[in-house]
Structure 1
Amino acid sequence: MSDTTLTTETPTIETATAEKTAHGVLLSDTAAQKVHSLLTQEGRDDLRLRVAVQPGGCSGLIYQLYFDERLLDGDATVDFDGVEVVVDKMSVPYLDGATIDFEDTIQKQGFTIDNPNATGSCACGDSFH
């Protein structure tokens, strides 16, 4: 007789990690803190950060970041420590692997997007392809 033991343990999956890669966009801690600060200033708790890609600019595509109260059919959402980031289904492939950060230096203040899918951008840096 063999001494085989069957276990019925359920594999542990870290939900936070799985959720944070649902749409492939990552939000840095600095960016999450800035978004949270802006939402607090607005005095609303029903808004989320929407990240989208739209046709436009010198290189063909532009990023849009704005607060939105709506959830549209097919939206992918991820919560980053109380900051919900929403990406529409058409933008997900363009933004997969992108990281949103916030810079606050003498030279620059604002959100930045590091997107591995962008093969080039225009001189002004506002659009990509």
Structure 2
Amino acid sequence: MIDKVAWIELSDGRVLSTRSKGKDTYYLPGGKREPGESDVDTLVREISEELSVQIDPKTAAHLGTFEAQAHGQPPGVLIRMTCYTAQYSGTLTPANEIAELIWLSAADTTQIAPVDHLVFAHLHAAGLLHP
């Protein structure tokens, strides 16, 4: 099981996604926790490293936890993605392994990882993500 924490940032009915250098699939921003980190600690660190902005930990709110086959992994390797919304300060800028930032709608599911499909469906059903 791959354990990941992800940030859900919505704007105008679209969700922020990222593409790593050398990849052709978009992923919700975030990453794996380091030993001893809480979900929010992981969120703050990963988003700062990947997107050059600062998450306000006091505003972090659990959106949901989703499990699916891990993209690019052998069958049976699952990912558990714990998703949070949170306010941020700074200017969204790709950093480190991130090559691109993009705002995606529910119609863009051909470009995302399997676990992200579940998150997109959840956001769409809640009326937060445009078709």
Q: TM-score range by the shorter chain?
A: under 0.3
Higher radius of gyration, 1 or 2: 1
| Higher RCO structure (Cα 8 Å, ≥6 apart) | 2
TM-score relative to the length of structure 1: 0.28
Higher helix fraction: Structure 1 or Structure 2? 2
TM-score relative to the length of structure 2: 0.28
